Structure 1
């Protein structure tokens, strides 16, 4: 299933819902990201493309 989240959502409603899901252990967003040093940006792109991470986050 593919969908866009937040495209047509009301942030005042959606954000508290996502927080509630996280607190209930049903939305582990912290496990969906992987942090990369900026100098590893190419690895971040590669990992995103091959599915090694869902959301790469580059840090400066």
Structure 2
């Protein structure tokens, strides 16, 4: 399994751009994430691998 976090982007440039896009309605990040409880971590991995969600967020 491979994970990518921002790829080769420069966070100081990328994050402000994403915030601006979000504020303009052009980056609906809330539709790209799905929240999981810690006990559902295996489901989070499965959903990420199968494409059910692009970014699983596991909370403790």
TM score, norm. by length of structure 1 = 0.78
Counterparts of 2:49 and 2:5, CA distance in 1: 20
Is the radius of gyration larger for structure 1 or structure 2? 1
Q: 1:16 maps to which residue?
A: 16
Shift of 1:10: 3.4
Q: Which runs of no fewer than 5 residues in structure 2 stay unpaired?
A: none
Aligned length: 57
Query: What SS does structure 2 have at the residue aligned with 1:49?
Result: helix
Counterparts of 1:5 and 1:45, CA distance in 2: 15
TM score, norm. by length of structure 2 = 0.78
Shift of 1:49: 1.1
Q: What is the Cα-based RMSD across aligned positions, in Å?
A: 1.8
Runs of 4+ in 1 over 2 A off after TM superposition: 4-14
Q: Which runs of no fewer than 5 residues in structure 1 stay unpaired?
A: none
